[in-house]
Amino acid sequence: RKEVEQDPGPFNVPEGATVAFNCTYSNSASQSFFWYRQDCRKEPKLLMSVYSSGNEDGRFTAQLNRASQYISLLIRDSKLSDSATYLCVVNPMLNFNKFYFGSGTKLNVKP
């Protein structure tokens, strides 16, 4: 079983739409969670960390559900520039510096 699983998409949405991605993780002891963004032919970059209480950064909201072992990313008022692949990342408690990356969810925002 993979450590982190994501729906690969693609999610095709119009500008201004709200879109949500989920990601599930297998290690119930995991403590740190992140969303990374990867543009086509570029390196992954941190989008936001995911805190237990949930957190918001502008149009982006991240949530953690420990009981069901999933994290989510909500994007409101989608922009063309949001088109990218979004990688879910989990960091098991025992090793604070070893990340497990999901395979990514591709988002296409259309005009």
Partner 1 sequence: DAGVIQSPRHEVTEMGQEVTLRCKPISGHDYLFWYRQTMMRGLELLIYFNNNVPIDDSGMPEDRFSAKMPNASFSTLKIQPSEPRDSAVYFCASSFYQGPYEQYFGPGTRLTVT
Which residues of this chain interact with partner 1, rule CB under 8 A? 32, 34, 42-46, 49, 87, 91, 95-104
Least gap, CB of 4 to partner 1 (angstroms) = 9
Dist. CA 100–CA 66, nearest whole Å = 17
Least gap, CB of 15 to partner 1 (angstroms) = 27
Nearer to partner 1, 11 or 36 (CB): 36
Q: Taking the C-alpha atoms of 43, 86, 84 and 8 in order, what is their torsion angle to the nearest 10 degrees?
A: 110
Least gap, CB of 96 to partner 1 (angstroms) = 6
Residue of 61, 78, 65 lying closest to 11 (CA atoms): 78
